[in-house]
Amino acid sequence: PFALTQLELDKLSKSIREDLLGTDHPVLSKAASYFFKATSDGGKKVRPMMVLLLSRALNWQRSDLPQAQRRLAEISEMIHTASLFHDDVIDGAETRRGAPSVHMVFGNKMAILAGDYLLARASICLARLRNVEVVETMSTIIEHLVRGEVMQLRGSTSSERSGERLVYYLRKNFYKTGSLMANSCKSAALLGEYPNELVDASYRFGKHVGMAFQLVDDVLDFEGSLSSLGKPALADLTAGLATAPVLFAAEECCDLEPLIDRKFRNTGDIERAVEYVFQSSGIERTKELARVHAESAMDAILELDSSLHRDSLVHLANKVVARTK
């Protein structure tokens, strides 16, 4: 069913690329459009795909897709990309999507500026949608992305018990992943001036897909390998981050707590943590939680009228949980 939007996604990258050209500075354009090159794999583009499919599912009675919702799909991907640029500088991540991250190619300075430039262009495109509620909704995303990154940098305080850590971690996931999907979907519905119930259902669909998506990402960091995910496996542990599989494992095996507290800094910590995770039901419980979120997403989307594109969104929620990369 995604073939339906594949052509539109290709056009999307092209359209973003064109928007980003025409600066006085070729390096800025190049850096900002780094992930929108025709040759780049450009990531999964889950966010714009969701916006496009949802817009079509909401508009099922008409065959064409309004230009505004197409632009919204682009904006969601521009904001996402800007946050990747800044996060990769902040986290010192060397690869992204199987290629060097933007700051490795263009330097930290240009990565910061390219991120700012993407945010500026996104704001201008947003303003041109001429819907202040959408502007406010989409601006909230940027604030949430910052909050999420700060929460990740800081980590939960060591005095907290594992249950509280999990709450903290899930809130961080909402800010870093759920909010962008939730508020982009909400904005798609707002642009079409649909009734509140559909706006709300769209928001919930995006939020739960986002939460499921991040949980599966965290599992794949344990199960995946460099070739399939485009970033090195165990990147989270290496960065000192305890994600859901570790936090669930810690509930069964209290030996993990001190490792989490010292951010897996000692020699052998990472290997021991991996061992604990695979001995416990950490991976399985994370997958289970992802499935619960995917089902909530499906419940939400089934509130829309039945259509081919609604089916695609159900399929998308399923695929997010089943994906292996």
Angle between helices 67-91 and 102-128 (to 10 degrees): 150
Per CB under 8 A, contacts with a second copy among 242-301 are none
SS (H, E, C) 214-282: HHHHHHHHHHCCHHHHCCCCCHHHHCCCCCHHHHHHHHHCCCHHHHHHCCCCCCCHHHHHHHHHHHCCH
Q: How many residues bind a second copy (CB under 8 A)?
A: 41
CB of 170 to a second copy, least distance (A): 13
Give yes or no for residue 145 binding a second copy (CB under 8 A). Answer: yes
Residue 79 near residue 141 (C-beta atoms within 8 A): yes
Select from 1-9, 61-69, 131-139, 224-232 the region that touches a second copy (CB under 8 A): 131-139
- CA–CA gap between residue 223 and residue 191 (Å, rounded): 39
State whether residue 68 is helix, strand or coil. Answer: helix
Give yes or no for residue 149 binding a second copy (CB under 8 A). Answer: yes
Select from 68-76, 143-151, 181-189, 294-302 the region that touches a second copy (CB under 8 A): 143-151
- CA–CA gap between residue 313 and residue 296 (Å, rounded): 13
Q: Which of 10, 14, 37, 132 binds a second copy (CB under 8 A)?
A: 132
Q: Which of 68, 99, 112, 253 binds a second copy (CB under 8 A)?
A: 112
Give yes or no for residue 164 binding a second copy (CB under 8 A). Answer: no
Residue 179 near residue 210 (C-beta atoms within 8 A): yes
Q: Which is nearer to a second copy, 145 or 250 (CB)?
A: 145
Give yes or no for residue 105 binding a second copy (CB under 8 A). Answer: no
- CA–CA gap between residue 193 and residue 77 (Å, rounded): 22
- CA–CA gap between residue 168 and residue 226 (Å, rounded): 28
Would you put residue 193 in left (φ > 0), alpha (ψ -120 to 50) or beta?
left
Per CB under 8 A, contacts with a second copy among 35-94 are 86, 89-90
Q: Which is nearer to a second copy, 29 or 40 (CB)?
A: 29
Could you please report the per-residue DSSP string of 116-159? Answer: HHHHHHHHHHHHHT--HHHHHHHHHHHHHHHHHHHHHHH---TT
Q: Which is nearer to a second copy, 74 or 269 (CB)?
A: 74
Select from 68-76, 98-106, 145-153, 193-201 the region that touches a second copy (CB under 8 A): 145-153
Give yes or no for residue 310 binding a second copy (CB under 8 A). Answer: no
Select from 11-19, 39-47, 56-64, 123-131 the region that touches a second copy (CB under 8 A): 123-131
Q: Which of 14, 37, 154, 262 binds a second copy (CB under 8 A)?
A: 154
- CA–CA gap between residue 151 and residue 286 (Å, rounded): 20
Residue 202 near residue 76 (C-beta atoms within 8 A): no
Q: Which is nearer to a second copy, 30 or 309 (CB)?
A: 30
CB of 146 to a second copy, least distance (A): 5
- CA–CA gap between residue 151 and residue 178 (Å, rounded): 15
* Contacts of residue 217, Cβ cutoff 8 Å, sequence gap at least 6: 177
Q: Which of 11, 14, 37, 128 binds a second copy (CB under 8 A)?
A: 128
Give yes or no for residue 166 binding a second copy (CB under 8 A). Answer: no
Give yes or no for residue 146 binding a second copy (CB under 8 A). Answer: yes
Cβ atoms within 10 Å of 119's Cβ, excluding its own: 19
Q: Which of 121, 165, 176, 310 binds a second copy (CB under 8 A)?
A: 121
The residues binding a second copy (CB under 8 A) are 23-25, 27-28, 86, 89-90, 109-110, 112-113, 115-117, 119-121, 123-124, 126-128, 130-133, 135-136, 139-140, 142-143, 145-147, 149-151, 153-154
